[in-house]
Amino acid sequence: MTSATRQQHLGTYLAQEGYASLDEIVRRFGVSISTIRRDLSELQRRGLIRRTRGGALHAGIIDSAMDYSMRESQNIAEKELIGDAVAGFVRDGDAVILDGGTTTFQVAKRLRGRPIHVVTNSLPIAGLLGNCSETELVFLGGYVMPRSGVSLGPYAEEMLCSLHVRLAIMGTAGVTEEGFFNNHILVVELEKLMMNSAEEVIVAADHTKFGRKSLAKLCESSEVNLLVSDAGLDRSWEESLRALGVDVHLARGPQSAVVESGVTQ
């Protein structure tokens, strides 16, 4: 494959995915990382993509996703495994809420193209799913936070009050024995309504989120049906959360969602 052809395919791939890490791109195209870096530099020079630390963002994604995509590259391997696992709990025909966040974005990438209904307040997720005919998308309107690209406020809250889904798939900034936390008071208020709109709640969080509190408490442990994390989670945390009644699943590979859990599949 010539460099021009590869760059054309790479541009198309990023337009479909929205964001991809360098590791993902190398695996996809089967060339060296130095070759991919040259390709990305050329695409950026032409204004088609924007390079980020550890990956690349398609230029069509809103600028507020830039900081988001940089955070997306952190602990990317763990987040990809978690995304695979959580997507395995979603059935075709389901209606699901996807909370904004870098881990839930990985879930969205695995749900793209499936015949489901997705409700989200995340512009990056909406940008990923919005041009996919198989996946029905509902975006919660309202004020959009520039740094994270999530909407919040009374318009989004009003929409949520009239919706019902089977699963709410939530991110979190911190997990302790006291419960789950996030870092913005108004976002937490909207996330509580997301959980109230769902029959069951899944929290997706990599192991770095444990033992950390953040500004606002989202919920008690008892309000979550399933926590999906990665194999880096300390065993003591797994045991502690199970003792509090939280079903814990550790994502270890593509088939890791095929487990017994409190969440129906």
Write the pLDDT tens digit of every residue in 108-152. Answer: 999 999 999 999 999 989 989 988 889 999 999 888 887 778 998
- CA-to-CA distance for 244 and 265, rounded, in angstroms? 23
More confident residue, 256 or 29: 29
- For position 74, what pLDDT does the model report? 60
- CA-to-CA distance for 253 and 262, rounded, in angstroms? 20
- Whether the pLDDT of residue 72 is over 60: the answer is no
Closest to 196 in 3D by CA, of 160, 244, 151:
160
The single residue listed with the structure tokens 């936390």 is 181
The pair phi, psi for residue 262, each rounded to 5°, is: -75, -15
The two structure tokens encoding residue 187: 């976002």
**Residue 177 host element (H or E):** none
- Whether the pLDDT of residue 63 is over 80: the answer is no
- Whether the pLDDT of residue 156 is over 70: the answer is yes
Q: Are 74 and 97 in contact (CB under 8 A)?
A: no
Q: Are 195 and 172 in contact (CB under 8 A)?
A: no
* CA 41 vs CA 44, 46, 66: distances in Å: 5, 9, 17
Kindly indicate the confidence band of residue 59, based on its pLDDT and cuts at 50, 70 and 90: low
The two structure tokens encoding residue 233: 């989670």
Provide the 8-state DSSP code for 207. G
Which range, of 12-16, 65-69, 93-97, 172-176, averages the lowest pLDDT?
A: 65-69
Helix, strand, coil % over all residues of the chain, rounded to 5: 40, 25, 35
Kindly indicate the confidence band of residue 256, based on its pLDDT and cuts at 50, 70 and 90: very low
How much is the pTM? Answer: 0.71
Mean pLDDT for the stretch of residues 218-222: 92
Query: So what CATH class is 3-60?
Result: mainly alpha
Which range, of 104-113, 117-126, 176-185, 252-261, averages the lowest pLDDT?
A: 252-261
Dihedral sign computed on CA atoms, order 111, 116, 120, 122: positive
Q: At what angle do helices 22-29 and 3-17 cross, to 10 degrees?
A: 130
Domains 3-60 and 76-251 belong to one CATH topology: no
- For position 14, what pLDDT does the model report? 83
Starting at the edge strand that comes first in sequence, how are the strands of the sheet with 117-120 ordered?
136-139, 117-120, 95-98, 165-170, 198-204, 226-230, 247-251
* CA 193 vs CA 79, 181, 202, 207, 218: distances in Å: 25, 15, 14, 26, 10
Ranges of each domain in the chain: 3-60, 76-251
- CA-to-CA distance for 205 and 208, rounded, in angstroms? 8
Chosen CATH of 76-251 out of 3.40.50.300, 3.40.50.1360, 3.40.50.10420, 3.30.390.30: 3.40.50.1360
In order, the DSSP letters of 162-187 are T--EEEEEE--SEEETTEEEES-HHH
The two structure tokens encoding residue 239: 């045991």
